Amino acid sequence: MSNFIVYILTDNNRRYFEIDFTSNMLSTVVELQQANSFTFQQGSSLNRIIYSEAFSKLACAKKRMNELQNFTHLQIERIIRKNNPNWNNLFPQQQQAYTKRNSNYAA
């Protein structure tokens, strides 16, 4: 079972990348959604997860994250285009599911 996910975030213009890893993708997506609701026009908003890799060991995930962080912008783009040619957000469904789930308790 894969417990750790290395992911790449980008903004709407695909100009900036952030590479990180998590053990709970749902909470990461929710944190991103909340953070982006507070940053209105203050710089670029990294709001789309466009690449992810799953690992079963923390050491492997950290190694891959460090490896990706040392890549150039062009190398990162090539990896993304190979796995996600349309640069689609890979986790929009989880944002909607979490919102719907919490809306039942808000009443």
Domains in the chain and their CATH numbers?
Answer: 4-83 (3.40.1440)
Q: Give 25: exposed, middle or buried? Use CB within 10 Å, 0-12, 13-18, 19+.
A: middle
Q: For residues 8 and 98, which has the higher predicted lDDT (pLDDT)?
A: 8
Q: Retrieve residue 44's tokens.
A: 């670029």
Query: pLDDT digits over 51-93, tens only?
Result: 999 999 999 999 999 999 999 999 999 999 999 999 999 877 5
The span from the CA of 83 to the CA of 24, in Å, is 21
Q: How far apart are CA 93 and CA 101, in angstroms?
A: 12
Helices 25-38 and 92-103: crossing angle in degrees, nearest 10, is: 80
